[in-house]
Each structure stands twice: as structure tokens, then as C-alpha cells.
Amino acid sequence: MPLDPAAKNLLDLLVAAGRPKVWQVSPAEAREGISALAEAADAKDVPIGRIDNAAWPGPAGALAYRSYTPVDAAGDPLPALLYFHGGGFVIGDLDTHDGLCRLLANASGCRLISVEYRLAPEHKFPAAVEDADAAACWVADQARELGIDPDRIAIGGDSAGASLAAVVCQLAKERGGPRLALQLLLYPATESGVDTPSRVAFAEGYLLEKKSIEWFFQQYVEPGTDPIDPRLSPLLAPDLAGLPPAHIHTAEFDPLVDEGKAYADKLAAAGVEVEYVCHPGMIHHFFCLAGAIPYARTAIANAGAAIKQALARARQAGATAQRRASM
């Protein structure tokens, strides 16, 4: 399928505006750039039931989080979606992903908890992984206080945030907790330091570029860091059996599409329940561009509906297990 007309129009506007490439500016300027893109292209004025801004006790100090209660919330406890924003581990924040989080909370019926984590280059790998892992443990431990059902906690993110979500699922399996009912991975980065065919085919001109990926990696890791570490490359983890069901979304014109599909295939081969969607005509980051790309709203609505159904099944399964245990 050709590039979506709205996505093409956005890319053309960015070129016409002379927007610098991420590797041509400092991390601080790159952060300003993603904020400007969000201001121009994120969904605006999305109604939400309630928003709470607070802090959670990260492993190296307090970090901000934002809780979104959907408009049609039936009352506590609600299912939850712990969410990590994307941005190559360098850029992005709660505000750059606000529109997506509002839409996804409403579509899924989840209390969505979007958490900050330490960014590079100020905080190198594995700081972001440590924060994401600690956030999952904290949400599970504080489930009652947060008004969420501990048996229906999903975890997710986009791009680098999806990588963090995938890694946290692997760490939770190794450790024996917390219990995670589902992983939502939006165009995940799953293998570092490789040139997949899609990274070559879509190296330039599709928002995320090959040089951008390389720049992010240089900011994130210390020189000499082994890229095959599963915390950097979750695709390379030796055993994916026993991980939570996965909903994986990729974009047709995305340098990361091949590694997202490869992770879906490897999970399925390991016996994990997988729902995989490659969105035709779409570019990287499109879930966060619903103000400029109308299809993004449809994709978010469908992704949210699938999460709602999956967590309803998880609730049913939990109730059945409790009944059997009491017999």
C-alpha cells in the first residue's frame, strides 16, 4: 500500500519547515523538537474522566507519573495499563504522549498510568530499564491504593517504551513477579546494532531514520556496551516461553517494522499468545500523531478494544481459578 496521504502530508510539512534531524542537534534541542511535534500533531482536547499528576519513588529518586481514568469508568478497581513513552530513551515525556494516553485509556477502559523514567545521555543504560522495572513492581504493590485490579495489570509503550515494556515482562518472568496480564508493544525496538532490511529500506524520509536510531543508541549506552544484552535487545532473549500475551503493532513504512514482526514471530513460536497488526501506509510514531493522521484514531480505538477484551478474559480466568482453588 502507498504511504497514507495524511502521513505524507505531515512529512512534507516537516521537510518544508526545515526541521533539523535529531542527530544534528543536542539532546535538549531534540526534546524541544519532539515537544513541538506533539503540540502540532497530537490529538487535542480529548475528554477524560479524571487526570491525577503525582510522583512515584523511583530507584534513584522520585519520578513523575500521570494517571488517566477513562470517561466511562464504572468504579474502582479498574484494569490498568502501565505505559512507557517512546523517544529513543533520550526524548519524550508525559506531555508528548498525552493525547495518545487519553485516547487509549478511553478505548481500553483501563486506568492508564504513564510514568517518567530517567533519560539518556544524562542517565545511561540500564537506568531506564531499572526505572521501568521498578515502576511495574510499584504499580503492582500499590494496586489497591491506585484503584486498580492487581489481576488485570497490562504493560505497554511505544518504540523505546515498548522495548522497556518487553524487557520488564522478561524480568518479571525471571523473578516470578509482578503478575502482568498483557503486553502492548507499539512499533517496538527489539534488536540493537543491526541493519534489518526495513532499517535500510526506510533509512531516510519516514520521520524515524536510520541515523536517528544510531544517534539514540550512542546517547543511551556507554561505548563498548554489548548490544546483544536482552535488556537492550529483547528479541535476543534465549527463552520467551511463559511471557504475557502480546499485542504488537507495527507500521508499514517504519525502520523498526522487521524487528517488531520478528519479536511477534518469536513469541508465537515460544507458545505465547500474540495478536500482530502491521498498519498499512503508516510511519513510525503515528499513534502519537492523531491530530494530523486520522487513521491513528482508528488504530488506537481498535487497539484499546482488543486490550479491553483481553483483560476481560483475564478476569474471567482469574475468577475460574479462584473457584477451583476453593473447592
Q: Classify strands 111-115 and 274-283 as parallel, antiparallel or unpaired.
A: unpaired
Integer distance in angstroms from the first to the last C-alpha of the chain? 55
Asked, as a colleague might, if the bond just before 27 is cis with ω within 30 of 0, I would say no
198 a catalytic residue: no
Residue spans of beta strands (DSSP E) within 226-298: 246-253, 274-283
258 a catalytic residue: no
249 a catalytic residue: no
Three cell numbers written together for 304? 484499546
Asked, as a colleague might, if the bond just before 234 is cis with ω within 30 of 0, I would say no
**Which among 97, 247, 249, 284 is annotated as catalytic?**
284
CB–CB of 246/275 below 8 Å?
yes
**Which among 67, 159, 163, 233 is annotated as catalytic?**
159
Q: Which residues are registered as beta bridge partners of 247?
A: 184, 275
**Which among 149, 151, 254, 258 is annotated as catalytic?**
254
Structure-derived torsion over alpha carbons of residues 128, 264, 303, 312, reported in degrees to the nearest 10: -90
Q: Which residues, other chains included, contact 16 with Cβ-Cβ below 8 Å and sequence gap of 6+?
A: none
Distance CA 301, CA 296 (A): 9
Q: Count other C-beta atoms under 10 Å from residue 189's C-beta.
A: 31
Distances (CA, A) of 276 to 70, 251, 266, 269, 279: 25, 11, 12, 13, 10
Give the angle subtended at the CA of 318 by the CAs of 317 and 320, to the nearest 5°: 65
SS3 286: helix
Q: Which residues are catalytic?
A: 159, 254, 284
